[in-house]
Amino acid sequence: MVQLGSWREERTKPKESYQFIEKELIRVKLKNYELVDFNVQLNLVIMEYIGEQWQLIS
């Protein structure tokens, strides 16, 4: 989440505000990649569990 105080400070410096926004976007992208990675790992764990249960049944 962008802090409003720092956001206002950055907006008074036009040249730096673009870099600031770019950094925030990169940070958000990295967080999204972390979430995707977590989801993939979670799905693998669930699939392994289902596979093990299926082997026990058959």
Query: 10 Å Cβ neighbour count for 41?
Result: 10
Number of domains in the chain: 1
Range 15-28 average pLDDT:
85
CB 23 within 8 A of CB 17: no
Range 21-46 average pLDDT:
91
CB 10 within 8 A of CB 17: yes
pLDDT category of residue 49 using cuts at 50, 70 and 90? very high
- Dihedral angle of Cα 30, 35, 40, 43, to the nearest 10 degrees: 180
Domain limits at 42? 4-57
Question: What pLDDT is attached to residue 13?
Answer: 65
